[in-house]
Amino acid sequence: MQVADKKVVTITYVLKDDKGVTIEAVPDGQDFAYLHGYQNIIPGLENALAGKTQGDELTVNVSPEEGYGPYDDNMVQTVDIALFGDAEVKVGAQFAADSPEGEQFPVTVTKVENDKVTVDGNAPLAGQDLCFDVKILGVRDATEEEVSHGHVHSAGDHDH
């Protein structure tokens, strides 16, 4: 069975940056399943997997444009620590910020200096060339329920 829209694809992968340093690896025994064609994974990876079959192994290079987007300096801001109220503010902490359009998006604290806090609203891997070593472990038809929800339901539990 080939990877196509409305298929549930189970993969394992190692994600490296453009210097070959491992960023993330799927742990043994914890394979990753996604519903193909519903933008559940980054476009560069989803496109590369289309048409492949179980057992295929491939190396996929993904540009920022097809990955987590370009890095945007405008997404980095320095704000007054008073804005955080009672929350514990330290490097690496994540908060929700409001966009000018009123939507919430996650930001990560990258610097705390005196009463000034620098937050970065870019995705953690924004602006990076990524390399995935992927192996396709399985391909199956999605259930009607999975298709209507737009995501995979793992065996026996439906946690939303």
- Residue closer to Zn ion (CB basis): 135 or 149: 149
- Distance, in Å, from the CA atom of 19 to the CA atom of 38, rounded to the nearest integer, reads 30
* CA gap 12, 131 in Å, rounded: 13
Give Cα separations from 143 to 23, 46, 149 (angstroms): 32, 19, 10
Region binding Zn ion by CB under 5 A among candidate stretches 13-21, 54-62, 134-142, 146-154: 146-154
Site string for Zn ion, 90-129 (x = CB under 5 A): ----------------------------------------
State the Cα–Cα distance between residues 90 and 24, nearest whole angstrom.
23
Phi-psi label, residue 42: left if phi above 0, alpha if psi -120 to 50, beta otherwise: beta
Binding of residue 40 to Zn ion (CB under 5 A): no
Among 96, 101, 149, 155, binds Zn ion (CB under 5 A): 149
Other C-beta atoms closer than 10 Å to the C-beta of 26 total 16
Window of 12-20, 53-61, 102-110, 144-152 that interacts with Zn ion by CB under 5 A: 144-152
Whole-number minimum distance, CB 35 to Zn ion, in Å?
A: 10
Sequence-ordered strand ranges (E) for 53-103? 57-62, 76-80, 94-98
Which residue's C-beta sits nearest to Zn ion?
A: 149
Q: Which residues contact 143 (CB under 8 A, 6 or more apart)?
A: 153
Q: Which of the stretches 1-9, 69-77, 82-90, 143-151 binds Zn ion when contact is defined by CB under 5 A?
A: 143-151
Shortest distance, CB of residue 83 to Zn ion, whole angstroms?
A: 35
Q: Per rule CB under 5 A, is residue 135 in the interface with Zn ion? A: no
Residues that bind Zn ion (CB under 5 A): 149
